[in-house]
Amino acid sequence: MKSFVAIDFETANQYRSSVCSVGLVFVENLKIVDTFYELIRPTPNFYCSWATKIHGITYYDTINSLEFPDVWAKIREMIKDFPLVAHNSAFDESCLKAVLDSYGIEHHHNTFYCTCRESRRLFPDLPNHQLHTVSEFLGFHLDDHHNALADAEACAHIAINVFR
Per-residue pLDDT of 68-121, as tens digits, reads 999 999 999 999 999 999 999 999 999 999 999 999 999 999 999 999 999 999
For helices 148-162 and 115-122, the axis angle rounded to 10 degrees is 40
pLDDT at position 85 is 98
Mean local confidence (pLDDT), 135-148: 96
125, 126, 153, 129: which is closest to 141 by C-alpha? Answer: 153
Per-residue pLDDT of 3-13, as tens digits, reads 999 999 999 99
Integer Cα distance of 125 and 39 in angstroms: 36
pLDDT at position 164 is 81
Cα separation values, 124 from 6, 85, 118, 121, 154, Å: 23, 20, 10, 6, 19
Mean local confidence (pLDDT), 128-152: 97
The domains found in the chain, sorted by start residue, are: 4-162 (3.30.420.10)
Q: Which helix (H) or strand (E) holds 37?
A: strand 31-39
89, 90, 97, 91: which is closest to 159 by C-alpha? Answer: 89
Confidence of residue 64 (pLDDT cuts 50, 70, 90): very high
